[in-house]
């Protein structure tokens, strides 16, 4: 006997969607560094939807939860929803849209919503870069609200009215909450733990010395909150002075960065980048955006000597990585040596820039960091997605 089909949670999301990704990493720290062991290579995904429903919708949500609370569900991923690129006609076997920025899967399911109403489920037989191939011809009369509104004639449906989202199986992780404003208006909140996490491809972006560099411009749209620290122990016998004893040799810089993404492509790129971090496992370069190195003289095309205003002891420069905001591009270099030159410091770079470096070029320190959290929360709004990520400096 075949198992009964999983019930569909059909309600459209009307407010901000919260997506939580949870990895597990065992961080073993020594006096000079750390070792990170991945205990969960793919994250657990928990999505929380808030639905604005009328009296009938709230009643349907309550009855669905009552009947299938402890079982699996088909969950439309509304935070990955896309608008169709072309309208639909009766009996269509393909839906035109950019599938590269979502999580549609061959042999999987998709949800179709018309005018933001309840979703209908369709089977996908194949996923092409610009379209979904359906297992069966589409029956427009089965779509709620398809025959009403502009562009709906029973034989055709305008693209502007269509929203499509991939469907994944999942289970409810908490009770379904219903908050009534009045008898016919309320909010239903449901959280699902999704199965079959995707294996997203490592994002394409700038790299330096084998590590990716996070240069998203949304980083600089709000202040960076940083803390500077070193692991120490304060020894106080209660009678004499307090003595500070270092526990680790490494100096730690902690920051909280906020990234924003607007539009399907940018949202997908943000999720891919977060996936590539694997919680606290992977490291990357983070520019300080602090304009620490201020040039005192321009550099010629073949020069590796950079004259800057003093900012650190001479022995603290060697081995530091920097980023230069050159016209139209970002360049990355390492500092190999530093000496006094009058009242300034003269730094030697690992290689020349291949072009003149004008006075006023912004130069920032690069720091190797990793995420300081295995639990990452992404807030998907109607216009943009946003994530705040704590990071901590690591020893190269």
Across 72-81, 89-98, 204-213, 214-223, least confident range: 214-223
Calculate the alpha carbon distances from 313 to 39, 172, 268, 337, 345 in Å. 41, 56, 43, 12, 9
pLDDT of residue 146: 55
Long-range contacts of 66-70 (CB under 8 A, 24+ apart): 67/7, 68/7, 69/172, 69/176
Instruction: Indicate the Cα dihedral angle 329, 333, 339, 344, nearest 10°.
Output: 20
Provide mean pLDDT across the span 269-294. 92
Q: Decide if pLDDT at 225 tops 80.
A: no
Q: Which of 275, 347, 249 is nearest to 307 (CA)?
A: 347
Tokens of 17: 């969607």
Calculate the alpha carbon distances from 3 to 6, 7, 72 in Å. 9, 12, 12
What percentage of the chain reaches a pLDDT higher than 70?
92
Provide mean pLDDT across the span 232-261. 80
pLDDT of residue 249: 67
Longest dimension (CA), the chain: 89
Contact 290, 228 (CB under 8 A): no
Q: Tell me the three state secondary structure of residue 187.
A: strand
Q: Give the pLDDT band of residue 1 (cuts 50, 70, 90).
A: very low
43 vs 225, higher pLDDT: 43
Tokens of 236: 């106080």
Q: Give the pLDDT band of residue 213 (cuts 50, 70, 90).
A: very high
Q: What are phi and psi of 265, to 5 degrees?
A: -65, -45
Q: Give the pLDDT band of residue 369 (cuts 50, 70, 90).
A: very high
46 vs 288, higher pLDDT: 46
């Amino acid at each position: 006997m075949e198992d009964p089909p999983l019930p569909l949670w059909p309600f459209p999301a009307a407010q901000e969607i919260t997506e939580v990704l949870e990895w597990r990493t065992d961080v073993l720290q020594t006096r000079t560094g750390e070792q990170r062991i991945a205990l969960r290579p793919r994250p657990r995904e928990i999505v929380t939807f808030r639905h604005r429903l009328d009296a009938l919708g709230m009643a349907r949500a309550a009855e669905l939860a009552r009947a299938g609370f402890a079982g699996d569900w088909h969950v439309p991923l509304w935070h990955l929803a896309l608008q169709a690129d072309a309208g639909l006609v009766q009996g269509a076997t393909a839906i035109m849209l950019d599938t590269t920025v979502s999580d549609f899967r061959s042999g999987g399911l998709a949800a179709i919503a018309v005018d933001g109403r309840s979703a209908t489920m369709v089977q996908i037989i194949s996923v092409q870069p610009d379209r979904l191939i359906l297992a069966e011809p589409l029956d427009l009369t089965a779509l709620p609200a398809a025959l009403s509104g502009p562009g709906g004639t029973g034989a055709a449906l305008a693209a502007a009215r269509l929203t499509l989202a991939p469907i994944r199986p999942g289970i409810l992780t908490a009770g379904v909450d219903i908050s009534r404003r009045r008898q016919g208006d309320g909010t239903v909140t449901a959280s699902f733990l999704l199965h079959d996490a995707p294996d997203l491809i490592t994002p394409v972006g700038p790299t330096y010395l084998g590590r990716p560099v996070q240069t998203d411009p949304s980083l600089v749209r709000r202040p960076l909150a940083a803390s500077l620290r070193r692991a120490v122990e304060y020894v106080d016998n209660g009678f004499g002075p307090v003595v500070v004893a270092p526990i680790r040799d490494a100096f730690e810089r902690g920051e909280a960065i906020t990234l924003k993404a607007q539009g399907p492509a940018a949202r997908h790129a943000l999720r891919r980048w977060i996936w590539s971090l694997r919680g606290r496992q992977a490291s990357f370069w983070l520019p300080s955006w602090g304009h620490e190195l201020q040039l005192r003289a321009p550099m010629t095309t073949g020069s590796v000597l950079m004259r800057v205003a003093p900012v650190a002891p001479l022995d603290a420069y060697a081995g530091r990585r920097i980023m230069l905001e050159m016209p139209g591009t970002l360049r990355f270099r390492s500092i190999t040596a530093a000496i006094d030159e009058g009242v300034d410091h003269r730094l030697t770079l690992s290689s020349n820039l291949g072009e003149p470096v004008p006075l006023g070029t912004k130069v920032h320190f690069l720091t190797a960091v990793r995420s300081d959290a295995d639990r990452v929360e992404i807030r998907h709004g109607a216009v943009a997605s946003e994530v705040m990520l704590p990071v901590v400096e690591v020893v190269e």
